[in-house]
Amino acid sequence: SAVISQKPSRDICQRGTSLTIQCQVDSQVTMMFWYRQQPGQSLTLIATANQGSEATYESGFVIDKFPISRPNLTFSTLTVSNMSPEDSSIYLCSVEDPTGFFYGYTFGSGTRLTVV
Amino acid sequence: AQSVSQHNHHVILSEAASLELGCNYSYGGTVNLFWYVQYPGQHLQLLLKYFSGDPLVKGIKGFEAEFIKSKFSFNLRKPSVQWSDTAEYFCAVIGLEGGKLIFGQGTELSVKP
């Protein structure tokens, strides 16, 4: 199955600053997805990133707060801007993975963000 | 709108007990269904999936799930749990007509040795 490398794995940031999370896939994929998992909660889809077009954001998420880049078919970044403690979460990228024994969606190991 | 509901927030079982975790979804069209597991400190892993065909699907580590279309359900089962099954379990659904992979709230399973 596809292998996703996500960086950084964790970070502690000051409020008001921004953090860019990188997601690298070892194969070309059409769509990449960004999720947020708040403490003790399930995963919430932030946006879908297609190569060559603007990301599509879910209700409650806006581009100014979570700008996304998708420069090619194997890479994407999510920026968490002007952070506040409420942004403390695990952020995960995901891809639709048709290559593995289990056709499904593969997830990165996540970025654990703490905003102080 | 597409949604997923998992009935149990936290389940506590003894080893060798049988497990059934409930999952119901809301979507007007055809769906693909998934169960994911997240072991403590680890990332999400796919347990099993249903796309079409036999509604009883078998996954890794002895897990299985049954899709009951009339009940919009996709319950996860295991006949005999082990301490190593302690984890968070997520049901997820994607609608085939341009849907997105949506997750349930998750069920935390604690297995006592």
pLDDT at A99 over 70: no
Q: How far is CA B37 from CA A67, A76, A103, B48, B77, in A?
A: 29, 25, 16, 10, 13
Do A89 and A113 form a contact (C-beta atoms < 8 A)? yes
pLDDT by residue (tens digit) across A63-92? 999 999 999 999 999 999 999 999 999 999
Residue A19, pLDDT score: 98
Contact A102 B48 (CB under 8 A): yes
For A42, the closest of B34, B90, B100 (CB atoms) is B90
The distance from CA B41 to its chain's CA centroid, rounded to whole angstroms, is 19
∠ Cα A88 B24 A108 (to 5°): 35
What mean pLDDT comes out for the span B74-100?
A: 91
pLDDT by residue (tens digit) across A8-67? 999 999 999 999 999 999 999 888 999 999 987 889 999 999 888 889 999 999 999 999
pLDDT by residue (tens digit) across B14-70? 999 999 999 999 988 888 999 999 998 888 888 999 988 999 999 999 999 999 999
> Best mutation site among B37, B93, B96, B103 for testing chain A: the one with the most A CBs within 10 Å?
B103
Question: Distance between CA A32 and CA A84 in Å, rounded?
Answer: 25
Question: Distance between CA B86 and CA A89 in Å, rounded?
Answer: 22
Residue B27, pLDDT score: 87
Residue A39, pLDDT score: 83
Question: Distance between CA B3 and CA B103 in Å, rounded?
Answer: 8
What mean pLDDT comes out for the span A86-109?
A: 81
Residue B21, pLDDT score: 97
Chain A contact set for B46 (CB, 8 A): 102, 104-106
∠ Cα B56 B104 A38 (to 5°): 145
CB < 8 Å from A in window 6-65 of B: 34, 36, 42-44, 46, 48-49, 51
Distance in Å, alpha carbon of A94 to nearest chain B alpha carbon: 10
